[in-house]
Amino acid sequence: MTLATGTRAALILGTVLSLFVQQAAAQTDEKLISLISGQQRAEKNRVRDIYRHPEAVLTFFGIKPDSVVVEILPGGVGYWTEILAPYLKDSGSYIAANGEDGVPDSEGAKDVAALKSKIASDGGLYGKVQLSTFKADLPKIAPDGSADFVLTFRNIHNWMASGETAGAFHAFYAALKPGGVLGVEEHRGLADQPQDPLAKSGYVRQDVAIKIAEEAGFKFVGSSEVNANPKDTKDYSVGVWALPPTYRLKDQDREKYAAIGESDRFILKFVKP
């Protein structure tokens, strides 16, 4: 075989492999897209997609159907549960690390009960969901080094308020495999203003969130602006909760807040070395 022939063969092989990879990726995307538009999703979750962009977020993190994914505090609503649980059920694993349910009528107990009810409602979609308990002083959300991904959506401000950020991020680090990904979403605070250490407004500066993760041992990989919202002025009397979907001020200036939409959010990706 001449060099030219060998080169042509290598190019053909490379093209075939590239097409195979592209086809596999397209199939994966089709599965995800199908589930995002699927009937298993509650309407109250579906209407938030214009602000939360689930396909873009999960693609940015790099989640695949065979991934082991831990979601921190999915609550009872199960926005991501309705997508991730069926997406991972055949060849991956979805672990819902909710709060403690030992205190009757507490928010944590209500969330756990609601999520268990959702899981029980459709064994075909949710029967393989694994439940674990998350609390910052409980180091085990999954067996050490077992998870490909740990995901947390808009929780950092709560842990700052309760002084639990270090414990939370160390729990994430312990659960992840080396090379595993921590995906973080949070309401983005103003970069030119000091960070309230208790994050009482619900907003967290992006550089502060990165520092918290890096102090726990994570390496910052990159960010996505898919959930950015330049209309969010971040100066509301009741904090981020003035905006939808909470509308803490109820009918006061509701049209104004509806026009702003949900909060300006950063999406961050970290890796456990």
Q: Are 267 and 233 in contact (CB under 8 A)?
A: no
Q: What is the pLDDT of residue 23?
A: 43
pTM value? Answer: 0.88
Stretch 4-17: mean pLDDT: 42
Best CATH choice for the domain 37-271 from the list 3.40.50.300, 2.40.160.20, 3.30.450.20, 3.40.50.150: 3.40.50.150
Interacting residues of 148 by C-beta distance below 8 A, sequence separation 6+: 63, 67, 68, 69, 176, 177, 180, 181
Reported confidence tier of residue 11, pLDDT bands at 50, 70, 90: very low
Q: Are 271 and 219 in contact (CB under 8 A)?
A: yes
Stretch 218-229: mean pLDDT: 98
Q: Are 119 and 112 in contact (CB under 8 A)?
A: no
Residue type, 180: G
More confident residue, 137 or 225: 225
Stretch 71-81: mean pLDDT: 93
Stretch 179-197: mean pLDDT: 98
95-130, pLDDT tens digit by residue? 999 987 766 667 778 888 999 998 898 999 999 999
Instruction: Determine the 3-state secondary structure of 98 from DSSP.
Output: strand
